[in-house]
Amino acid sequence: MTLFQAIVLGIVQGITEFLPVSSSGHLALTQFFLGVPEDRVFFLTVMLHIGTLFSVLVVYWTDLINILIAFFQMCADVIKGKGLGLEKEYHRLAFLIIVGTIPTGIMGLLFRDIFSNIYTSQRVIGIALIITGTLLWTSERSQKFMSNKKELPEMTWKNAVAVGIFQGFAITPGMSRSGATISGALFQGINKHTATRYSFLLSFPIIALATMLEVIEAIEVGTGDIGLSMLMVGIITSFLAGVFAIRTLIRMIAQGKLYYFSFYTWALGSGSLILSFL
């Protein structure tokens, strides 16, 4: 494996982890076109998630720190019999993130082995990309027919569970995590700003937990021919690309351009399906 391939994979991971176009699908397709065997790149692709994890940390630093503080305050308040204090912004965010993470975690544990076996299936990736594009198109269009859009104080635990289930679907290779969660929130009438913010904050514990589990597995499998310098270049590249992708998506959603990604995922998905039959 070359340094160029590591940089390309880092850029692809960083951008596609947060833009609603599916990182798993793009990494699988990129590995295929670069001619890199999966067993030689597995360790690197796992470590690239560390870079994207720091992307969320940097962009949403203030929110994440306040959520962590609120979590410990909630625990102390519950022990004292004061309740959860969900009328406070960060208490509610902490609660909704915990609730939304539960269904995702359950789905990941139950179906992880099944979907890992179809990670390189171009046909599955193609179908999932087309579904992602359809979700993006219909969810943004559905907001035009909703008169009252929910802010954070109006979000309930049921909304969080639903978004968490949508996030669980993203274990499918070719299904975008950010696309699924943002679409799931928009379908429930949550406004674009809140949907985007909640989607990225909800991604942090899932990416962190998944990376921890995958790092252990990757170490057992072996690092292949991945050197330290190549590894660091890949992680830094994915971090910078991730920051760019998050800020780009926030701006595009605010401008009502989420559906733009539908055309891309439809085209890529259709191309992947055609190639799978050749």
The 10s digit of each residue's pLDDT in 105-128 is: 898 888 777 766 666 677 888 899
pLDDT (mean) for 129-150: 87
- Secondary structure of residue 226 in the 3-state scheme: coil
In this structure, are residues 198 and 155 in contact, taking their beta carbons and an 8 Å threshold? yes
Mean pLDDT computed over 43-63: 87
User: Does residue 68 sit within a domain?
Assistant: yes
How many structural domains comprise the chain? 1
Range name among 118-122, 134-138, 207-211 with the lowest pLDDT average: 118-122
Band of residue 66 on the pLDDT scale cut at 50, 70, 90: very high
pLDDT of 239 reads 94
Is residue 213 in a domain?
Answer: yes
Q: State which amino acid sits at residue 13.
A: Q
Give residue 120's pLDDT. Answer: 62
What would the mean pLDDT of 120-139 be, rounded to a whole number? 88
Let me know how long the chain is: 278
Rg of the Cα atoms in the chain: 19
Tell me, yes or no, whether 278 lies in a domain: no
Point out which residues pair with 264 in neighbouring strands: none
pLDDT at 61: 94
Using CA atoms, how far apart are residues 234 and 147, in angstroms rounded to an integer? 45
Q: What is the four-CA torsion angle of 186, 177, 208, 152, rounded to 10 degrees?
A: 0
100 domain-assigned: yes
Please give the pLDDT value at position 200.
Answer: 93
Domain that holds residue 63: 3-273
Contacts of residue 175, defined as CB under 8 A and 6 or more positions apart, other chains included, come to: 22, 24, 25, 128, 129, 131, 132, 169
Model confidence pLDDT, tens digit, residues 166-195: 999 888 888 888 999 999 999 999 999 999
In-domain check, residue 38? yes
Residue 177 backbone dihedrals phi, psi, to 5 degrees = -65, -50
The percentage of the chain sitting over the pLDDT mark of 90, rounded to a whole number, equals 46
- Residue 216 placed within a domain: yes
